[in-house]
Structure 1
Amino acid sequence: MRWEEVREQFPNEWVVCETLQSHSEGGFCFIEEVMVIDRFEDSRVAMKRYYELHQDKPLREYGFFHTSRETLQLREKWAGVRGPR
């Protein structure tokens, strides 16, 4: 489901989603397609559900977002590995 469709179906709600399609550009991840797993009015409950899903299947890409966001654009974080000193 595209983000625009999610926003129409679940206005002014928190949604927990699995990322199905995304791309990276300029240090940002642009999420293009998601599967909505749950929806909530309370961000704390949405975050708890996100952590449950992530703990159960850590290799899947989950997120929780408020549908007031116009786009799903996230800053990418890279963990560095230090070599020998």
Structure 2
Amino acid sequence: MRWEEVREQFPDEWVVCEALASRSEDGYWYIDEVAVIDRFDDSKIAMKRYYELHREKPNREYGFFHTSREHLQLREKWSGVRGPR
């Protein structure tokens, strides 16, 4: 699912996602396609769910984001859970 679709389907919510398609450009990590795993009103609960998933499958690229975010663009240095490609 593209981020624009996630924002339309889950307005003003926290979503826990798995990155399905992403790319690196100019020091940023862009997430082009996600699978929504869960949604929450509370960021603390979303973060807890993210950590649960990350512990279960640390090699997968999970994240939690608020749908008020226009783009899924992160500085590469903050996406340290990513391994070599």
Normalised to the residue count of structure 2, the TM-score between the two structures is 0.91
Deviation at 1:53, TM superposition (A): 0.1
TM-score by length of 1: 0.91
Larger CA Rg, structure 1 vs 2: 1
How far residue 42 of structure 1 moved from its aligned partner, in angstroms, is: 0.1
Residues 21-78 of structure 1 show CA distances to partners (whole Å, capped at 9, x for unaligned) of 0000000000000000000000000000000000000000000000000000000018
Q: Which runs of 5+ in 2 are unaligned?
A: 81-85
Find the counterpart in structure 1 of residue 9 from structure 2.
Answer: 9
RMSD between superposed Cα atoms in Å: 1.2
- Determine helix, strand or coil for the equivalent of 1:77: helix
Question: Where in structure 1 are there 5+ consecutive unaligned residues?
Answer: 80-85
Identity level (%): 77
List aligned pairs for 1:1-85, cutoff 5 A.
1-77=1-77
Mapped to 1, the partners of 2:18 and 2:56 lie a distance apart of 13
Distance 2:43 2:61 in 1: 18
